[in-house]
């Protein structure tokens, strides 16, 4: 035991590494027993188990230490825009306490702005935390895969339901059909003649794998470890005794668990998030500079001094004025930040997810909608994504009318639905004797079934056998048969009624065939056999011709069959041969009874080869996991869109290459020696990045999870935006690491779905391509509304800056700007998300992930527009105070007093003006009088001018949303009605503005008053020119677009190639 314990210690330290003399798959059974210090017959002792529990712990996956709620909350405030907002909210709150009703804000009004900002931040944080906690579910789903119980031998006693978490290395476990494997284990004895395990979710193999007790090479890949069964996989055929070699986190599934954790720590921001962060940082600098500039310009109003002997003396400081200009700086910050942007982006992405859901792409993480738009590489799994993951017969070869001739039939269909496709040139209802025998063997020498579940047909049992049942249904009823049975599987049922099974000779890996004895309705007993064509042919002495006659199998016919087999194998078809014979004389009276003397021969599988001898060969079929019909066109669309497709599969090389040629990843006669590598071969390539840069398609077969991760990591390092598809547990780490993880909805494991960003409801590759197109469209629309909102904010900043620079009273208070940014701008910005996609959207190369959201030209354009917004909003404020009419519009109807521009610019000195008086004026039903303090005309009295400024800002932003319909296209070529939602949104925004103007309580909260018809005409006259100005700028943009974009074309092209 001491030696065993020592070895175990070594084994533990080196698990997961390729150390010598420690890998259980490279040892024979006796060496494994010695290594683990155990006897397979007796199992471990109680003492052994206790010691090993101390060394290895429980057989379960570790639960990673989750991020604390406090840390998650703090992480939500890492965003630059959020921090600026938070600072603005805190300062506003402090000023509301200190300043009371200063600057025209009264009572609750002062607190509306900070409270609204805090509310935005809380909602943003809650959404962020919810997304973070969602990510941990992938690891929880992985734990669900683990087995709960196991049948274990300890102290010579068999324990039938030991909790699987109590297993330790060295435990002896018995597995039976349907069992979930509880740990990584070495097969030490087969109880049945064969053992088959479904491990595709871990290794990517498309079929169940036969397991053996024989040792394999020490450096075998995961698919090559034929004597190891892996935790989380399922036994589909046979039973065996195994020795536990690895438990918990040391198992293959444990490594996947670790890789998911590692990948989740390397998750990066989406391209858009990076752009917005960069924008936020730039905005912080700009706001800081402008705030400083505003203070410097206005420092003379709150800080003055006298010069004595050349030195400043007698400083005078006005706290009231200081806080007033501080409020202006806060208003500036509120104006500069597009508070509504996060909400509009979320809304647009949510609308995008609805569109994608209609195309069978279910988005789990909102930002991935946008990331899809700049995908440059799609790494796709083969099985179930490019193919249907439903085995189907594609070719049937039968014997001809004379010796040395064969007949070949192509079989259509790619699913388990018998109605999917037909057999070409088939003699419907006129099946000859040879074809009837093929149908009989395919139907009866078969343990699978095909059932209809809701709208689809599913296989119960081995997929290859289910495909044979589907073939029988397509072959139809034999001539003269009673066709009353029109139910599903009608043909198979008819054959089962005609031929009663009395014995089964199970498949085993040595003879590679399965046989059944049947008691025919004609009174004869037959042995029906199916299996590997070479093996069945080797045990055949005759062939059956078209008319049912038999001839001796000569060398020419044998070579002809083998040549046909070779041709089909080269097309990656898996071939099964059919043969029959009369039962051996010992079984002439056998009826399935255990008391019959011949029954003893069936108990020993070593007798099966001699029973299945002197066979008559009747034909064979070629099966495959067929490619989906839509995939070829989807891959062609990818090529047109500048997206490269790489196939990464756990399946074998020849099968994968044949499928890739068929679907257009490779051309039919293309030399792919440098493009098709196994995972292990790729890891040995010296310059891996250069290999991945090859234009066109690439294939990686026999790939393990670590290979998939490495490929994704290298592509991302090279600046590619990677979408990765997968359905198995083995795909989860790479799904997590990729920019976009795409899981299969039908065949996908819960682990894969939880690790993904998007789930395909139909498991179809072409859905990804459609989603990429949708992602591109959404990004273009997002660019439109981001430009729109940012240009609006530039206008607000210009307005406040001009107010401060000119020294006039504050035109708009922060709560008004917040209303414009959040509510008024929101509907048009959201509606821009409904812009129709460009017709050539999937004919352009993907945008570079470092593409600028706002180019120098766009920034210049919106600075011009922004300056106009500033001039218009400040201008209308000045016009009301200084003009009785403007452009023929009478503004004197309300009776307000006019002042000179000089007086307005020096309003702070009002108290020193002699004889300054102002008349009362009306606004709606209110009258404003200033007899007691005329200087209030520049405080409380600015309410009408402020309302005009706010209305001009709203109107200009509505018209500016029309400009955002297209980046460079004129409204003449892209009129407003191409997006009716935008017109509706403009109406809603104007409606909301009317509500706060004409509902007295809301008007009081926002510090505004109703406007007359003439005042509205003034608003329109000042606002409409924004469309003309942008049309001129767009015209210049179209003229200079060739000059502006030509330098950037070569690198973009190089990237695409």
CB-CB contact of 841 with 637 (8 Å): no
CB-CB contact of 617 with 553 (8 Å): yes
CA R_g for the chain: 39
User: Which residues, at least 6 apart from 499, have a Cβ–Cβ distance to it below 8 Å?
Assistant: 440, 444, 518, 519, 520, 521, 526, 528
- Count of C-beta atoms within a 10 Å radius of residue 550: 14
C-alpha 895/C-alpha 42 separation (Å) is 107
C-alpha 870/C-alpha 236 separation (Å) is 74
Q: Is 226 helix (H, G, I), strand (E, B) or coil?
A: coil
Backbone angles phi, psi at 29, to 5 degrees: -60, -45
Q: Is 761 helix (H, G, I), strand (E, B) or coil?
A: coil
Tell me 66's DSSP state.
P
User: Which residues, at least 6 apart from 537, have a Cβ–Cβ distance to it below 8 Å?
Assistant: 553, 558, 561, 562, 577, 617
Picking from 35, 117, 29, the residue whose alpha carbon sits closest to that of residue 333 is: 117
Separation of CA 945 from chain center: 52
**Could you give the residue ranges of the DSSP H alpha helices within 728-887?**
732-737, 750-755, 765-806, 814-819, 826-831, 856-882
Q: Check the CA dihedral 225-227-230-234 and report its sign.
A: positive
Separation of CA 977 from chain center: 34
Alpha-carbon distances, residue 4 vs 7, 123, 184, 201, 245 (angstroms): 5, 59, 18, 33, 13
Alpha-carbon distances, residue 247 vs 17, 209, 231, 254 (angstroms): 15, 22, 8, 8
User: Which residues, at least 6 apart from 232, have a Cβ–Cβ distance to it below 8 Å?
Assistant: 145, 146, 147, 180, 181, 201, 202, 251, 253, 729
Longest Cα–Cα distance in the chain: 134
C-alpha 987/C-alpha 632 separation (Å) is 46
C-alpha 473/C-alpha 443 separation (Å) is 9
C-alpha 736/C-alpha 419 separation (Å) is 39
C-alpha 745/C-alpha 384 separation (Å) is 10
Q: Which of 48, 381, 432, 731 is catalytic?
A: 381
C-alpha 395/C-alpha 393 separation (Å) is 6
C-alpha 209/C-alpha 212 separation (Å) is 10
Burial-class residue 644 by CB neighbours within 10 Å (0-12, 13-18, 19+).
Answer: buried
**Pairing status of strand 525-532 against strand 574-582:** antiparallel
Picking from 183, 252, 188, the residue whose alpha carbon sits closest to that of residue 35 is: 188
- Count of C-beta atoms within a 10 Å radius of residue 163: 15
Alpha-carbon distances, residue 579 vs 33, 530, 575, 947 (angstroms): 43, 6, 14, 93
Is position 838 annotated as part of the catalytic site? Answer: no
Q: Check the CA dihedral 936-941-947-952 and report its sign.
A: negative
C-alpha 397/C-alpha 647 separation (Å) is 31
Burial-class residue 273 by CB neighbours within 10 Å (0-12, 13-18, 19+).
Answer: middle
Q: Check the CA dihedral 456-462-463-468 and report its sign.
A: negative
Residues present in the chain in total: 1057
Catalytic residues: 381
């Amino acid at each position: 035991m001491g030696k065993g314990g020592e070895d175990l210690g070594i084994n533990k330290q080196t698990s997961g590494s390729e150390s010598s003399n420690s890998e259980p798959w490279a040892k024979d059974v006796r060496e494994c027993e010695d290594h683990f210090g155990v006897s397979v017959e007796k199992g471990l002792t109680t003492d052994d188990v206790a010691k090993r529990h101390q060394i290895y712990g429980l057989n379960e996956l570790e639960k990673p230490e989750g991020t604390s709620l406090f840390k998650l909350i703090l992480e939500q405030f890492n965003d630059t825009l959020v921090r600026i907002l938070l600072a603005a909210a805190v300062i506003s709150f402090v000023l509301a306490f200190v300043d009371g009703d200063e600057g025209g804000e009264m009572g609750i009004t002062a607190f509306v702005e900070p409270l609204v900002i805090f509310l935005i931040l809380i909602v943003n944080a809650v959404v962020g935390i919810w997304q973070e906690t969602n990510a941990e579910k992938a690891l929880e789903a992985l734990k669900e895969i683990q087995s709960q119980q196991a049948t274990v031998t300890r102290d010579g006693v068999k324990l039938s339901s030991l909790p699987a978490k109590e297993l330790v290395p060295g435990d002896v476990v018995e597995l039976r059909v349907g069992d979930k494997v509880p740990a990584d284990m070495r097969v030490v004895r087969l109880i049945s003649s064969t053992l088959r395990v479904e491990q595709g979710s871990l290794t990517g193999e498309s079929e169940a794998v036969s397991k053996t007790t024989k040792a394999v090479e020490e450096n075998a890949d995961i698919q090559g470890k034929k004597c190891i069964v892996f935790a989380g996989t399922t036994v589909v055929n046979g039973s065996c005794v195994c020795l536990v070699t690895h438990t918990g986190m040391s198992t293959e599934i444990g490594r996947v668990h670790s890789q998911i954790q590692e990948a989740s720590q390397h998750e990066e921001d989406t391209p858009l998030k990076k752009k917005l962060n960069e924008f936020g940082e730039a905005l912080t600098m700009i706001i800081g500079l402008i705030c400083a500039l505003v203070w410097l310009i206005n420092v003379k109003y709150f800080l003055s001094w006298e010069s004595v002997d050349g030195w400043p003396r007698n400083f005078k400081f006005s706290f009231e004025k200081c806080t007033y200009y501080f409020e202006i700086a806060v208003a500036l910050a509120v104006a500069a930040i597009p508070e509504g942007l996060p909400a509009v982006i979320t809304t647009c992405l949510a609308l995008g997810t609805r569109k994608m859901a209609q195309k069978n792409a279910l988005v789990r993480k909102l930002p991935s909608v946008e990331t899809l738009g700049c995908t440059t590489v799609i790494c796709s799994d083969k099985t179930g994504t490019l193919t249907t993951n439903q085995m189907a017969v594609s070719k049937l070869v039968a014997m001809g009318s004379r010796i040395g001739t064969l007949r070949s039939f192509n079989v259509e269909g790619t699913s388990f639905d018998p109605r999917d496709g037909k057999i070409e040139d088939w003699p419907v209802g006129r099946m000859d004797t040879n074809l009837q025998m093929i149908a009989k063997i395919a139907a009866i020498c078969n343990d699978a079934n095909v059932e209809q579940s809701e709208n689809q047909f599913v296989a119960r049992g081995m997929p290859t056998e289910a495909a044979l049942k589907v073939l029988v249904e397509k072959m139809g009823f034999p001539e003269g048969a009673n066709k009353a049975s029109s139910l599903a599987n009608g043909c198979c049922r008819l054959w089962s009624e005609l031929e009663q099974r009395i014995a089964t000779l199970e498949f085993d890996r040595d003879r590679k065939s399965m046989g059944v004895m049947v008691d025919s309705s004609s009174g004869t007993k037959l042995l029906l056999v199916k299996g590997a064509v070479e093996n069945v042919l080797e045990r055949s002495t005759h062939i059956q011709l078209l008319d049912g006659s038999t001839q001796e199998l000569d060398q020419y016919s044998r070579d002809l069959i083998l040549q046909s087999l070779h041709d089909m194998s080269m097309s990656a078809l898996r071939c099964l041969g059919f043969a029959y014979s009369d039962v051996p004389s010992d079984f002439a009276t056998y009826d399935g009874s255990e008391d019959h003397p011949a029954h003893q021969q069936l108990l020993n599988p070593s007798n099966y080869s001699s029973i299945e001898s002197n066979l008559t060969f009747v034909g064979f079929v070629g099966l495959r996991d067929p490619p989906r019909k839509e995939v070829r066109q989807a891959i062609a669309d990818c090529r047109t869109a500048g997206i490269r497709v790489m196939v990464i599969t756990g399946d074998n090389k020849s099968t994968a290459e044949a499928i890739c040629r068929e679907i257009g990843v490779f051309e039919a006669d293309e030399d792919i020696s440098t493009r098709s590598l196994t995972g292990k071969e790729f890891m040995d390539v010296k310059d891996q990045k250069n290999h991945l840069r090859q234009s066109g398609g690439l294939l990686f077969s026999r790939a393990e999870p670590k290979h998939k991760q490495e490929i994704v990591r290298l592509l991302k390092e090279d600046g590619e935006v990677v979408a990765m598809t997968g359905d198995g547990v083995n795909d989860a780490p790479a799904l997590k690491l990729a920019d976009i993880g795409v899981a299969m909805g039908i065949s996908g494991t819960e682990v894969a779905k939880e690790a993904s960003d998007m789930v395909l409801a139909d498991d179809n590759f072409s859905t990804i391509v459609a989603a990429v197109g949708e992602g591109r469209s959404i990004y273009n629309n997002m660019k439109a509304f981001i430009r729109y909102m940012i240009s609006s904010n530039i206008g607000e900043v210009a307005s406040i800056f001009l107010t401060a620079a000119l020294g006039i009273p504050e035109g708009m208070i922060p709560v008004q700007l917040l209303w414009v940014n959040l509510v008024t701008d929101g509907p048009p910005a959201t509606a821009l998300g409904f812009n129709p996609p460009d017709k050539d959207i999937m004919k352009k190369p993907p945008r570079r992930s470092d593409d600028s959201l706002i180019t120098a030209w766009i920034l210049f354009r919106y600075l011009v527009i922004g300056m106009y917004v500033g001039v218009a909003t400040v201008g209308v404020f000045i016009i009301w105070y200084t003009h009785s009419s403007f452009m023929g519009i009478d503004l004197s109807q309300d009776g307000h007093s006019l002042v000179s521009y000089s007086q307005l610019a020096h309003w702070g000195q009002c108290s020193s003006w002699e004889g300054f008086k102002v008349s009362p004026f009306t606004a709606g039903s209110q009258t404003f009088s200033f007899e007691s303090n005329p200087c209030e005309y520049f405080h409380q009295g600015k309410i009408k001018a402020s309302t005009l400024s706010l209305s001009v800002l709203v109107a200009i932003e509505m018209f500016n949303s029309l400009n955002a319909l297209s980046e460079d296209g004129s409204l003449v070529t892209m009129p407003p009605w191409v997006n009716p939602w935008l017109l509706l949104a403009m109406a809603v925004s104007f409606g909301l503005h009317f509500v706060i103007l004409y509902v007295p309580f809301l008007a009081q909260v926002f510090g505004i008053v109703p406007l007359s018809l003439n005042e509205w005409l003034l608003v329109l006259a000042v606002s409409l020119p924004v469309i003309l100005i942008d049309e001129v700028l767009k015209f210049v943009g179209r003229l200079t677009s060739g000059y502006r974009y030509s330098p950037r074309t070569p690198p973009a092209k190089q990237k695409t190639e």
